Amino acid sequence: MTDLAGAAIAFDLDGTLVDTAPDLHRALNHVLIEEGLPETTLVNVRAFVGHGARALIRRAASSHGRTYEDSRLDTLTETFVDVYASDIARFSQVFDGVEETLQALAASGARLCVCTNKRTGLSNRLLEAVGLSEHFQAVIGADSVPKPKPDAGHFLAAIHAIGGDPARSLMVGDSISDVGAARNAGAPVILVNFGYTDIPAEQLGADAVMSHYSELPSLIRPWLRR
């Protein structure tokens, strides 16, 4: 069955395809310890990963009354990235059902890409480390576009990168940034309810919310079927 031929689906990465929070938690605590600050919890990391490493560091530091100038925050962010990248998938795991679902969507004719606020190089390294890179025709990270999600341009750049038609495109994510990017581009959006957000996915205004990847093929067809 190729009823999705020509359809384009953009996936967020962290908290949507891969549970990366444990490795991000490891890198963040390395930075905090070097700064003489208490370690943060994995729960806190899961809530704010979607805002990026810089915001994660800023939030963790400010919770202990520490603020940084932009230049210092730049340096800490680079330290975070270096520590994270050095062992990018030590604890990270692909969410259950992801690979089977990606295979099924591709077999139905859909074109798949990654649209993430993670850096493109790190995203490619992670996807390769967890064995998912072969499923995507393009990976568009935050450093590949003028403005990242929730800007519509980020989502559209990912769709165009795989030769997709925005009129037959859809976003799969876990946070308000994913909803915003899709809405700003006039596209439908489906969220997972096991991702990284401080607000429950059901309250973010998505067109649908799923609790397992086995639900995705049937959820997307009302919007993308030929």
Domain boundaries, the chain: 8-19+92-224, 21-86
| pLDDT, position 52 | 79
CATH class as words, domain 8-19+92-224 = alpha beta
Instruction: State yes or no: is 12 an active-site residue.
Output: yes
Amino acid letter, 189 = V
Amino acid letter, 200 = P
> 24: alpha, beta or left, given left = phi > 0 and alpha = psi -120 to 50?
alpha
Alpha carbon 168 to its chain's center? 21
| pLDDT, position 1 | 62
| pLDDT, position 177 | 95
What digits encode the pLDDT tens for the residues 142-160? 999 999 999 999 999 999 9
Catalytic residue among 12, 14, 23, 207: 12
Query: Which tokens is 49 given?
Result: 């990963």
Measured CA angle at 215 (ends 193, 93), to 5 deg? 55
Residues of the chain with pLDDT under 50: none
| pLDDT, position 162 | 99
CATH topology of domain 21-86: DNA polymerase; domain 1 (1.10.150)
| Separation CA 117–CA 130 (nearest Å) | 18
What digits encode the pLDDT tens for the residues 68-84? 999 999 999 999 999 99
Which residues are within 8 A (CB) of 13 and not within 5 positions of it... i.e. 6 or more apart?
Answer: 20, 114, 116, 118, 123, 126, 127
CA atoms 112, 118, 121, 127: torsion sign: negative
| pLDDT, position 48 | 79
For 141-184, strand residue ranges (E) read: 169-173
| pLDDT, position 4 | 96
